[in-house]
Amino acid sequence: MARVIFDGVGKKYAGGGANAVTDLNMEIADREFLVLVGPSGCGKSTAMRMVAGLEEITEGRIIIGDRVVNDLPPKDRDVAMVFQSYALYPHMSVRDNLAYPLKLRKVPKAEREQRVNEAARVLDITQFLDRKPKALSGGQRQRVALGRAIVRNADVFLMDEPLSNLDAKLRVQTRAELIKLHERVQTTIIYVTHDQVEAMTMGDRIAVMSLGVLQQLATPQELYDNPTNKFVAGFIGSPSMNFLDVQLQGSEGRLYAVTPGFKMRVPDTKGRALQPYIGQSVTLGVRPEHLVERSRLGGDAPPDATIPVTVDIVETLGNEIFVYLTSPGTVLTSRMAPDIQLTSGQQIEVAAEPERLHFFDPKTELKVA
């Protein structure tokens, strides 16, 4: 059991251009399931490989438990890593594949057997122990790969996109199994993915990275409700948050967000933080699921707090519909309940609850209100 601390960690590859990871600070609690998420190339694997000892740390310190591990060789770090491309030995049975890491560490035979049986039980692969990997499905092989990490009783599990080779259905299933597994084995897990749905469903907390820099570290709900900047706001949620450039105008003590197509009153609760932006443009963000037809808003939306739009395309998904809406200079996506009848060309008004509107500084992209 161990916490993992990144203390000002930076990584610059020899010959590489920009830093792969810059000034990374985060503390992962003992037994926490932390998900590292971000687009391709943002530094997720690099951060992970530094914990494992597979990459040198250019700057800062990594602490596992109470030990600074910067100069500790991988074998002394007590971390187990599962990669996307799990390599099982094809000529060995599942049992021998599982036992192999223990054999390398000279664990006595009786203990080896006991640990292999225990891991097989936890992963529900006991019935496959005498098969060769080629006689297993992809999902079963993936579980064997996880088993090789589990038998080690490591303090920290590092998983780098371990589900990406599986088909959609198996991914969802294995995802659920991993969550259960974490409850049972009670180790610290750092899990890398570029899939925000995977991140949201699995993580106790999520670290969102972009271009080597940690953007936000928070619980899934916090990330969704209160993204710290436009990058996080756009990365979490599907379909993505709508972003609109609006001019902020003040008149008679009220604030309005103005575009060529509409003039929408800004909720009073946002007014204070937006004062410095009066007369300037800001980025307004609203998630598709929060943009509803006016009459469906709980309570009464003030008439000047709505956006008049034209229905462009309606996509029916059965349990919900995606509606593409236009207003001069703006295209908006809305995600609505399937019982609403809308046709292309129809004029409607949409609105969002005040706390569902996000305002970002157009230059720094930080959320201001």
Interface residues with ligand ATP (CB under 6 A) are 13, 16, 20, 38, 40-46, 194
With respect to ligand ATP, which residue has the nearer C-beta, 43 or 101? 43
Q: How far apart are the first and last CA of the chain?
A: 40
Question: In the complex with ligand ATP, which residue's Cβ is closer, 160 or 293?
Answer: 160
Dist CA 176 CA 4 (whole Å) = 24
Select 42 or 218, whichever has its Cβ closest to ligand ATP.
42
Binder of residue 328, out of Mg ion, ligand ATP, none (CB less than 5 to 8 A by kind): none
In this structure, the chain runs to a length of 369
Q: How far is the CB of 227 from ligand ATP (least distance, A)?
A: 19
Among Mg ion, ligand ATP, none, the one that 8 touches (CB under a kind-dependent 5 to 8 A) is none
Provide the minimum distance between the beta carbon of 48 and Mg ion in the complex, in angstroms, as a whole number: 8
Q: How far is the CB of 161 from Mg ion (least distance, A)?
A: 6
> Minimum Å distance from CB 269 to ligand ATP?
37
Three-state DSSP class for 206?
strand
**Should residue 193 be labelled a site residue for Mg ion when binding is judged by CB under 5 A?**
no
Among 281, 229, 207, smallest CA distance to 28 is for 207
20 interacts with, out of ligand ATP, Mg ion, none, CB within 5 to 8 A per kind:
ligand ATP
Q: Which does 16 bind (CB under 5 to 8 A by kind): Mg ion, ligand ATP, none?
A: ligand ATP
Q: In 3D, which of 275, 261, 286 has the Cα closest to residue 353?
A: 286
What span, in angstroms and rounded, lies between the C-alpha atoms of 357 and 369?
8
- In the bound state with ligand ATP, the residue whose beta carbon lies nearer, of 56 and 315, is 56
Residue 44 or 115 having the CB closest to Mg ion: 44
Least separation, in Å, of the C-beta of 157 and ligand ATP? 17
> Phi and psi (nearest 5°) for 224?
-70, -45
Nearest to residue 263, comparing CAs of 274, 271, 255? 255
Question: Minimal CA–CA distance to 135: which of 194, 164, 94?
Answer: 94
Number of Cβ within 10 Å of residue 264's Cβ equals: 23
Least distance from Mg ion to the Cβ atom of residue 100, Å: 25
Closest to Mg ion by CB, 37 vs 301, is 37
Q: Which of residues 22-61 bind Mg ion (CB under 5 A)?
A: 45
- 71 by Cβ neighbours in 10 Å (0-12 / 13-18 / 19+) ranks as exposed
Closest CA to 31 of 154, 207, 175: 154
Query: Least CB distance from residue 77 to Mg ion, whole Å?
Result: 19
CA distance 20 to 12: 6
Name which of 45 and 196 has its Cβ closer to ligand ATP.
45
